A = this chain, B = another copy of it.
Amino acid sequence: MSNHPDSVVRAHVEAHRSDFLDDLGEWLRIPSVSADPDRAGDVRRSAEWLAAALTATGFPVAEVWESDGLPAVFAEWPSGEPGAPTVLIYGHHDVQPAAVEDGWDTDPFEPAVRDGRMYARGAADDKGQVFFHTLGVRAHLAATGRTAPAVNLKLLIEGEEESGSPNFSALLRAHADRLACDAVIVSDTGMWAEDTPTVCTGMRGLTDCQIDLYGPGRDIHSGSFGGAVPNPATEAARLAAALHDDDRRVTVPGFYDGVVELTDRERELFAELPFDEAAWLRTAHSTAALGESGFTTLERVWARPTAEVNGIHGGYGGPGGKTIVPASAQLKLSFRLVAGQDAEKVQQAVRDWVAARLPAGIRHEIRFHGATRPCLTPLDHPALQSVVRAMGRAFGQEIRFTREGGSGPAADLQDVLGVPVLFLGISVPSDGWHSANEKVELDLLLKGAETAAHLWDDLARNWHPGAE
Contacts and interface: CB of A to CB of B under 8 A. Distances in A.
A234 B226 contact: no
Interface in A271-300: 281, 284-292, 297, 300
Contacts of A217: 285-286
Interface in A300-319: 300-301, 304, 306-317
Given A220-B286, A229-B286, A323 B310 contact: yes
A216 interface: yes
The copy count of this chain in the complex is: 2
Contacts of A221: 406
A436 to B, nearest CB: 15
B323 A316 contact: no
Report whether over half of chain A's contact residues are helix, strand or loop; otherwise say mixed: mixed
29 contacts: A204-B223, A206-B323, A210-B320, A210-B321, A216-B286, A217-B285, A221-B406, A223-B407, A225-B301, A227-B292, A228-B290, A229-B286, A233-B309, A234-B243, A234-B244, A234-B309, A236-B237, A237-B238, A237-B240, A285-B327, A288-B359, A290-B359, A310-B325, A311-B316, A311-B317, A311-B322, A313-B317, A317-B330, A321-B334
Interface residues of A, number: 81
A230 interface: yes
A284 B227 contact: no
Contacts of A404: 223
A316 B322 contact: no
A337 to B, nearest CB: 11
A290 B323 contact: no
A332 B325 CA distance: 11
B228 A289 contact: yes
A326 interface: yes
A41 to B, nearest CB: 28
Interface in A343-376: 359-361, 363, 369
